[in-house]
Chains A and B, each alone.
Chain A
């Protein structure tokens, strides 16, 4: 592989009708904050964080799991079978067509991608929302996948780490999407009663029904920098109160200030932070090098 294959291959693939799902359509990605253009491979290598500005782009769910688990090794959990389109819903499009499109686009059954593996030696179940699947919205499929993931963590006697990224409840499933709030809450309670830690890593964006259930019920809440985290969206609030919202409203940093998250953590530091917290909660010995570091800090 050289720079020519880097640039040319996707185009040939598309001419041959072989879409390569790993390569985004735009090879250059613009930083939403500074406008800087970043080559997609550089962005991927930096975990979808713009190198110069530090802006955290949305990270594909599978890439998140691969990055999180030691050596990228994990067992993927299967999406449980659930009812499709119970409302026979259509807005400007049929819901079944929307599902089909999202499935083709993402190569996933629904928004939840989950796996079990080790993070810095700590076994855990990780659950990630793929935002590009219908805005990470929570419906029956996601609810069931989340419940199964919690059950797996209980069976493995290991913690669960949740990475929500969601526009909220899936409108196309109506009241059944709302029912995923109590359903997923039952799963959280079962894990807690099994004495196992539950950590939420809030990523951009986490809103609506997802925030109003499992995303706000963690023992510990981490948040990636600059993520939008809220219950009601900005537009709804502006329409209700008819005034402009304050600068930085509903960001990770704002939630930290208002007591809703424990810390804002850069993406590169998340695996280490999770492992450190989970080892303490589960009374496991710290890794040798970390112990030395802690001793060194304590001695200073």
Chain B
């Protein structure tokens, strides 16, 4: 069963009724509920389409964080053959918040980097809820550097509330690790394509999202600070997150408007978690097209264009 979000009440009511009717029919074959079920299903679909066509930024935030939303490993399983994760930063530790490795994407050898949030208590703890420590970023740097040497395009899939704020992370140079990772994104001479799958949380996201092309899923968010964090800093009241989500302009449409992202990947009605295979496939198509276009450029040109892309951001506003 679905975890319904608070604003999905009309959908959950209708789907609840459908479920009951179907159960009734299972118990007593003589009752014909198919007409009623059909009617309700149409209404549920309409309600879903209606609600999802006008999600507020805060509602999108909830969809982006939905526990059943497909995460990095779901994408890795469907999009990559021979996906082989690599471990460790060769300096201190392995950090499973960031997954990085090699694989084949539609026949082409690639390097893959992204955050994994986990989908149950055990895996969430294992992946630290997708919040990386410096080791995660240093592993990403290692894999990008290797991709550069072997001429492999880099695909980065971003989904993090932010880099982990902890004592160990600070003492081992979280800021430096993020800065160096962003620097590596800007230095490589191979294509780098980034997709924000769910949450693009500030420095922890940009460290691996400084791509030649950057895309966002329709209901993904990308922000300098979480709505809760903004509310607590700017209003000194974290309960005003809803308001902050609107004011901060964090939706895919906002970012497209600012010229920060190159495209929006549509999600199924009701969000990515209602049809993961479809949205993952679509994401793959967008990445494939971008890599094809970028691979035609020589490495030096790619890097020059990438840097210019970032210098240009905000200059035309």
A residues adjacent to B (C-beta < 8 A): 82-83, 86-87, 89-92, 140, 143-144, 147, 169, 171-179, 181-183, 185-186, 188-190, 208-209, 211-217, 230-232, 236-237, 240-241, 245-246, 249-250, 254, 258-260
CA distance A66 to B163 in the complex (A): 38
Q: Which of A143, A172, A183, A215 contacts B175 (CB 8 A)?
A: A215
Answer yes or no: B289 CB below 8 A from chain A CBs.
Answer: no
Given that A174-B249, A175-B260 are contacting pairs, would A86 and B167 also be in contact in the complex, using a CB cutoff of 8 Å? no
Contact status A171-B314, CB under 8 Å: no
Contact status A178-B182, CB under 8 Å: no
A249 contacts which chain B residues (CB < 8 A)? 167, 170
- Please list 7 pairs of residues, one from A and one from B, whose beta carbons are closer than 8 Å in the complex, sorted by A's number: A87-B248, A181-B206, A182-B185, A182-B310, A186-B310, A190-B307, A241-B166
CA distance A140 to B306 in the complex (A): 19
Q: Which of A91, A175, A254, A260 contacts B255 (CB 8 A)?
A: A175
- Interface stretch among B1-9, B35-43, B228-236? B228-236
Q: Which of A83, A90, A91, A189 contacts B187 (CB 8 A)?
A: A189
CA distance A214 to B173 in the complex (A): 14
Contact status A258-B171, CB under 8 Å: yes
Residue in A147, A172, A181, A254 whose Cβ sees the most chain B Cβ within 10 Å: A181
Given that A181-B206, A231-B174, A237-B165 are contacting pairs, would A174 and B311 also be in contact in the complex, using a CB cutoff of 8 Å? no
Answer yes or no: B247 CB below 8 A from chain A CBs.
Answer: yes
Residue in B closest to A151 when the chains form the complex, CB atoms: B311
CA distance A215 to B180 in the complex (A): 11
Q: Which of A189, A208, A214, A241 contacts B186 (CB 8 A)?
A: A189
Contact status B225-A171, CB under 8 Å: yes
What 0/1 pattern do residues 302 to 317 of B give for CB contact below 8 A with A?
0000010011011101
Given that A216-B176, A231-B170 are contacting pairs, would A185 and B313 also be in contact in the complex, using a CB cutoff of 8 Å? no
Number of residue pairs A-B, CB distance < 8 angstroms: 160
Q: Which of A143, A178, A231 contacts B163 (CB 8 A)?
A: A231
The distance from the CB of B301 to the nearest CB of chain A, in whole angstroms, is: 15
Contact status A176-B234, CB under 8 Å: no
CA distance A178 to B250 in the complex (A): 12
CA distance A147 to B255 in the complex (A): 22
B163 contacts which chain A residues (CB < 8 A)? 231-232
Contact status A250-B258, CB under 8 Å: no
Contact status B234-A181, CB under 8 Å: no
CA distance A246 to B164 in the complex (A): 18
Answer yes or no: B20 CB below 8 A from chain A CBs.
Answer: no
A173 contacts which chain B residues (CB < 8 A)? 224
Answer yes or no: B119 CB below 8 A from chain A CBs.
Answer: no
Answer yes or no: B222 CB below 8 A from chain A CBs.
Answer: yes
Answer yes or no: B47 CB below 8 A from chain A CBs.
Answer: no
CA distance A178 to B315 in the complex (A): 15
Contact status A183-B313, CB under 8 Å: yes
Answer yes or no: B183 CB below 8 A from chain A CBs.
Answer: yes
Given that A175-B258, A231-B170 are contacting pairs, would A182 and B224 also be in contact in the complex, using a CB cutoff of 8 Å? no
A186 contacts which chain B residues (CB < 8 A)? 186, 307, 310-311
Answer yes or no: B288 CB below 8 A from chain A CBs.
Answer: no
A181 contacts which chain B residues (CB < 8 A)? 179, 182, 203, 206
A176 contacts which chain B residues (CB < 8 A)? 258, 260, 313-314, 317
B169 contacts which chain A residues (CB < 8 A)? 231-232
